[in-house]
Structure 1
Amino acid sequence: MTRSLLLAALVAAAPFSAPLSAPAQDMVLRGGTIHTGVEAAPTAEVVVVRDGRIVWAGPAAGAPVEGLPLVELNGATLFPGFTDAHAHLDGIGWRELTLNLEGSASVAEAMARLSTWAASQPEGPIVGRGWIETHWPEGRFLTRQDLDAAAPGRIVLLARADGHAVVASSPALVAAGVTAATEAPFGGEILKDEAGQPNGMLIDTAENLVAGLMPQAGAAATREAYRAGLSVYARYGWTGIHFMSAPWRDIPLLEQMAEAGEVPLKVYNSITPDGAMALIAGGPRDVADGRIITRAVKLFADGALGSRGAALYEPYADAPRTSGLMQTTPEAMRPIYQAGLRAGIQMATHAIGDRGNGSVIDWYEEALAAVPPAERPNGTDVRWRIEHAQVLRPSEYAAFHTLPIIASMQPSHAIGDLHFAPARLGDARLDGAYAWRSLAERGVIVAGGSDAPVERGDPLIEFYAAVARRDLEGFQGPDWRPQEAVDRLTALRMFTLWPAYASFREAELGTIQVGKRADFTAFDIDLMTVPAERIPAGRAILTIVDGRIVHDAR
């Protein structure tokens, strides 16, 4: 859900010194619990790897280990490689390199961080992200007056954590020509104060009004941001990432990095809409033995719940004047969807509100009816996705199974949103909110992700959220639909096998089986047995991709 205009700041980044990947090696993994993700053979004593592929997963007796180097787990627990099915690789990297307001406990704390950053960066625009007001004692969004006081005279642009709103300082609004008379673009909103003047908050497409103020990052800085993001994700234990809203202009750079051995993880790109027709015309792209695959387009139906941009059928319970914002029209989507079907390009459409999701379901159904399977390279196996599928009407669960649609969902949203979603939605609409279990039990593929940098991007937090449905302090709140928490095997599939399926790679990823690629994640806790409250305190011990150790904390 990030906006590229908020990630394009030129920063002075220190060179990345650690190698991003080690040479591929044959190996024998042993010395800890090994969960294969295979129902018929759920555990193994030993895994043997040759040339980046699994050649043995089973008992120690009979394993072909002679002459192979040992990788001792030292009591850690090994899983199939964890894949984040929805994250923003560029934003993860820029979060490491720009002003990060994540975790700010109040307006005062966020502005203190801004003042400190402004003092250390005395020239040029200031950009950052990560603030969220739902826990703040002030109980409100940031305003331009807050920014003006913390960084006087400076152009400041600070994105809310969800990436669907930005607060701009007064100098930024003046420089962009935003006044009381400025009309918000379709799909956006300019919030105003009691005097009718812009208060600095620009929602969804209104963010583009300040796009011209952003310093443009050169290729070197962009490369450094990607390197930083990939490094962080390897340390967290991810072996792959579905890069949502991957900038079309950056695809050649990512491919060059992969060919140069600078991409330690598997990256599956769902590109920005500006490249949709070019990708459709050229077809799917696959480089460096599948290290970078580009075969999907990310589109937007509505906005986000926190900034009241998610499109609802009925008004917000805590803001009856609005029902949210649709970001597009069926007329705009129809030609992209139909052309994508004919070219074998996957569609991944952002939808959060019930009206946003209902609209996408209707549009998908219409496109599938308009383009017969005989005219599609993939026939009936198109694997289209809805990104977030956050608030549904229970009557629409069936459409995810029958069309079918992959539900690409982020469990950590539920453990953050539980502090404000009941107020936004009212109790009745919570029946279809964050409904992982209801969908999975109907046979829907629920691909688990994090939406980082909207959330932290830690696989242990995501797994915990899926099985506990409580915040990190253990709070759940009254009737937060605890029955939608999933069992641990389902959670494991959400971050292993189902992301593999969602990227057309279940034949080679997602489980520890002979013939599949040697992608593994090892944690210092056993996610299948440890008490749920201890899961977030764990850490990744080992990350292996195609038989290469890309993170080792043993």
Structure 2
Amino acid sequence: MTAVALTALAVPAGAQDLLIRGGTIHTGVDGTPTADVVIARAGRIAYVGSAAGAPSTDGLEVIDLEGATLFPGFTDGHAHLDGIGWRELTLNLEGSTSVVDAMARLTAWAQDHPTGVIVGRGWIETRWPESVNGARFLTAADLDAAAPGRLVLLQRADGHAMVASSAALAALGIDETTAAPFGGEILKGPNGRLTGLFVDAAEQLLGPLMPQANPDATRAAYRAGFEVEARYGWTGVHFMSAPWGDIPLLEAMAEAGEAPLKIYNSVTPDGAQALFASGPRSVANGRIITRAVKYYADGALGSRGAALHAPYADAPGTTGLMQTTAVVQEPLYEQALRAGIQLATHAIGDRGNTEVSDWYAMALAAVPPSERPNGTDVRWRIEHAQILRPSDYHRFVDLPIIASMQPSHAIGDFHFAAARLGDDRLDGAYAWKSLVDLGVIVVGGSDAPVERGDPLIEFYAAVARRDLEGFQGPDWRPEEAVDRATALKMFTLWPAYASFREAELGTIEVGKRADFTAFSIDLMTVPAADIPGGRAVLTVVDGEVVYRAD
């Protein structure tokens, strides 16, 4: 608990010299878990400890927590920053309780927006009264009745399926003769006619009608995404599937002071070769770092695109959809090793996870550490690691692999996962504690906008393993919940490690960056049921207050 001179360190634009006190401060440091006071100077932590031992506070802005609780800055280890912003600017179908409710929202939106393409996201059919065992997806006929003649594209909450109106299909020239690309499916009804639903890679066929081509709208979406994330208390985001074409925009926003959070980019595969050639890139004192490529191995469980070793329990005719092959991926993984670029590969199903770990092992064996800029310290990740065979847990230890997991998926999915998987496969589902107990780094994230994106919901899901109504089914493996100290690491220190920044982020220690999140409740002591009812009250990034509750 000492002070440190910081005159030689670069001072981030907007940094303030701060004294924070007036509430419990959880440092995240083993051995000294709490403090009374933290002081930040020049964007770095200068003192952590008791009030009596603090150095001079002259010239400091004093922030009184007024009983709130301060933590190291929470980092969302897996989110889609662009999608979070677009959710704010387009039709939001989150929480729709039925087909009728979702279509009523579409009708109202169409009336309020009488021209242009209607784009929306957030529907999920698994608990709709019209959907038996999750079998009732939205259809073009639903959209046509709710918004006659309009071009409509509505993406499922998980992002792995999209329904299009008949007018949209006609505008794109898509009909029953259109072939689905590899890794995708165009659903047809018993009569052989298109239902309007496109799964996984087939969604690409609808891309020409999406709004991302408008640069002004894209910038507005990122501004909205930053605002939402700061308000939730996130100080950083691991931006998954960051569009390669948007990286210059994000960097320009950071240089212009328009990026209030730390963004760690895993870019879309179209940027892989350019990133392999350039190596990792960083701007604005590390505010935007681009160091990884995000690949997709399979689809999602809800739309039955997750690749399984055995057929789906509720759809015996399918084992899901692989999005790529070893022939394609393994050479790319070797290139990444030689370029010092991190890999983040989406794998949800047990087969998807087996395949990815096989490909990782092949590439690591083919490229000796002497030919890698990072030697043995590559920190490759599997995003989601959602359904595993327990016999495959060791792969995460042996290689090793970082498991990037989103706790809220478990509390949402357990209303349909047992039907999809059958009871036996739940033994390896959302197995956070089993992996942690083996020494695996488990990074917590939200996958927003697939989920709401609130860190308090994620923390609650990790420690309670119950849905937001407090329900926990008898088959839902409650032993996979983690303790609160582990959950804190999942959203602070372990995301820092997964982005190669544990030396400067993830705990409240002298010399580290002054990134803090304060919540109205103490996550370490409050009853678990009360966690989702809290709220962020302060978000500080590099010593700059980027959000303060009224």
TM normalised by structure 1 equals 0.95
1:37 lines up with 2:28 in the alignment: yes
1:107 lines up with 2:103 in the alignment: no
- State the Cα deviation string for residues 408-466 of structure 1 (Å, max 9, x = none): 00000000001000000000000000000000111000000000000000000000000
- State the Cα deviation string for residues 341-363 of structure 1 (Å, max 9, x = none): 00100000000000000000000
Counterpart of 1:97 (choices 89, 101, 105) is 89
1:125-164 to structure 2, matched below 5 A, reads: 125-139=117-131, 140-164=136-160
Across the aligned residues of Structure 1 and Structure 2, the Cα RMSD in angstroms comes to 1.0
1:55-454 to structure 2, matched below 5 A, reads: 55-67=46-58, 68-139=60-131, 140-454=136-450
- State the Cα deviation string for residues 46-67 of structure 1 (Å, max 9, x = none): 1111111111111112211330
- State the Cα deviation string for residues 316-346 of structure 1 (Å, max 9, x = none): 0000010000000111112210010001000
My pick for the range that moved more, 373-382 or 331-340, is 331-340
Counterpart CA distance in 2 for 1:254 and 1:241 is 13
- Structure 1 stretches of 4+ moved >6 Å: none
| 1:478 Cα deviation from its structure 2 partner | 2.0
Shift of the 216–452 alpha-carbon distance from structure 1 to 2, 3 Å rule, reads: closer
Partner of 2:4: none
Q: How many residues matched?
A: 534
Partner of 2:5: none
Contact 1:311–1:356 (8 Å) recurs in 2: yes
| 1:179 Cα deviation from its structure 2 partner | 2.1
Shift of the 66–412 alpha-carbon distance from structure 1 to 2, 3 Å rule, reads: same
Query: Please, which runs of 5 or more residues in structure 1 have no aligned partner?
Result: 1-20
Instruction: Give the share of equivalent positions with the same residue, in percent.
Output: 75
Counterpart CA distance in 1 for 2:200 and 2:431 is 25
SS at match of 2:38: strand
| 1:287 Cα deviation from its structure 2 partner | 0.3
Contact 2:13–2:257 (8 Å) recurs in 1: no
| 1:44 Cα deviation from its structure 2 partner | 0.5
For 2:50, the aligned partner's letter is P
- State the Cα deviation string for residues 103-129 of structure 1 (Å, max 9, x = none): 100000000000011111111211110
My pick for the range that moved more, 330-339 or 343-352, is 330-339
| 1:171 Cα deviation from its structure 2 partner | 1.5
Counterpart of 2:41 (choices 36, 44, 50) is 50
Contact 1:352–1:390 (8 Å) recurs in 2: yes
For 1:509, the aligned partner's letter is L
Contact 2:240–2:294 (8 Å) recurs in 1: yes
Contact 1:22–1:549 (8 Å) recurs in 2: no
For 1:365, the aligned partner's letter is A
Shift of the 277–159 alpha-carbon distance from structure 1 to 2, 3 Å rule, reads: same
For 1:367, the aligned partner's letter is A
| 1:208 Cα deviation from its structure 2 partner | 1.4
Contact 2:211–2:217 (8 Å) recurs in 1: no
Partner of 2:8: none
| 1:296 Cα deviation from its structure 2 partner | 0.2
SS at match of 1:135: coil
| 1:22 Cα deviation from its structure 2 partner | 8.2
Counterpart CA distance in 2 for 1:298 and 1:339 is 14
Contact 1:22–1:550 (8 Å) recurs in 2: no
| 1:23 Cα deviation from its structure 2 partner | 2.5
Partner of 1:501: 497
Contact 2:212–2:218 (8 Å) recurs in 1: no
For 1:260, the aligned partner's letter is A
Partner of 1:530: 526
My pick for the range that moved more, 187-196 or 207-216, is 207-216
| 1:176 Cα deviation from its structure 2 partner | 2.1
Contact 1:449–1:462 (8 Å) recurs in 2: yes
| 1:24 Cα deviation from its structure 2 partner | 1.2
Counterpart CA distance in 1 for 2:188 and 2:88 is 32
Counterpart CA distance in 2 for 1:443 and 1:401 is 7
Partner of 1:27: 18
SS at match of 1:398: helix
TM normalised by structure 2 equals 0.96
